[in-house]
Amino acid sequence: MDDLSTLSPAILTVAPNGARKTKKDHPMLPITPAELADEADACLKEGAAMIHLHVRDDQDGHTLDVTKYRQAIAAIRDAVGDRIVIQATTEAVGIYSPEQQMDMVLELNPDATSLAIKELVPNGQEERAKAFFADVQALGILPQFILYSPEDLRRFEKLTADGIIPFNNPFLLFVLGRYTSGQQSDPRDLIPFLTDLSEGASWAVCAFGRLENAIAGAALSMGGHVRVGFENNMLLKSGETAGRNADLVGQARQLAEAIGRPVATAADLRKKFGN
């Protein structure tokens, strides 16, 4: 676990849209490349070092289409240059196979990618995943490993011990509330993840539901990092609906500042994870 006493910079990531929500959920949910670029700029100004990117097909449905990704990435780069790390999701949403998810990453070759162990490494497919992870490492793509439960964490650690996952300094994301009733999470949901976490591990949390900001505060106070945004929650700590994603990033920045942690830049993130 990161040592808070060193005041390690807090990495703030924004997840601005997700795979399922639409403008019916919020008129400021960014979908088009131009909207994603505008949101990336606004969130960067509030302290975000990384944007977790989902793109949509022509009917606003979830897609892993490489051309759609490249259009969105180009728009974000035009708006903010390299001052934000762009993380491409591989989320299957019940549509894509592990092979299709892996092929997308290798063809796109993004700055960073999020990889759900639960989806990408089904039992019996470890050797295929091992080759993929080796390719990701060779390309210099920054992976973040998505873990939905303590069981996922234990599986991740076994895959690492067995040499399937080769990264010496992996960045983990604990997802809270995805499979709970009403998709609501609580700060206490962090405890099972942290109990057996390897010493020195780098981790972040994202939380479904109205307690997102409280959970962000708990994570930051224990040396973790946070991901916030409309993918998981649209409410401010007051209970009011946020005007846009940048408002949620700003809340997280204020939490980090309140406990004396500087906010990481994209350059800090790349340096920490060797990309």
Per-residue pLDDT of the chain (275 residues; tens, 9 = 90+): 444 445 689 999 999 999 999 999 999 999 999 999 999 999 999 999 999 999 999 999 999 999 999 999 999 999 999 999 999 999 999 999 999 999 999 999 999 999 999 999 998 999 999 999 999 999 999 999 999 999 999 999 999 999 999 999 999 999 998 767 777 899 999 999 999 898 889 999 999 999 999 999 999 999 999 999 999 999 999 999 999 999 999 999 999 999 999 999 999 999 999 85
Query: In the prediction, which pLDDT does 3 show?
Result: 47
Query: In the prediction, which pLDDT does 6 show?
Result: 57
Q: What is the enclosing helix (H) or strand (E) of 254?
A: helix 245-258
DSSP, residue by residue, 24-54: TT-TT---SHHHHHHHHHHHHHHT-SEEEE-
Query: In the prediction, which pLDDT does 7 show?
Result: 66
CA distance 42 to 143: 24
Global pTM reads 0.95
Q: What is the CA radius of gyration of the chain?
A: 17
Query: In the prediction, which pLDDT does 4 show?
Result: 44
Grouping H, G, I as helix, E, B as strand and the rest as coil, residue 121 is coil
Backbone phi and psi for residue 181, each to the nearest 5 degrees, phi listed first: -60, 125
CA distance 60 to 62: 7
Grouping H, G, I as helix, E, B as strand and the rest as coil, residue 19 is coil
Task: Give the tokens for residue 271.
Answer: 């340096």
Helix axis angle, 98-108 relative to 66-80, nearest 10°?
40
CA 15 to each of CA 18, 123, 189, 196, 229: distance values in angstroms, whole numbers, following the listed order: 7, 29, 20, 27, 5
Looking up tokens 């920045």 gives 253
Contact predicate 87/116, CB 8 Å: no
* Percent of the chain whose pLDDT exceeds 70: 96
Query: In the prediction, which pLDDT does 76 show?
Result: 98
Contact predicate 104/64, CB 8 Å: yes
CA distance 231 to 13: 12
CA distance 100 to 106: 10
CA distance 118 to 273: 23
Query: In the prediction, which pLDDT does 230 show?
Result: 98
Domains of the chain, each with CATH number or no CATH: 4-273 (3.20.20.70)
DSSP, residue by residue, 71-84: HHHHHHHHHHTTSS
Query: In the prediction, which pLDDT does 54 show?
Result: 98
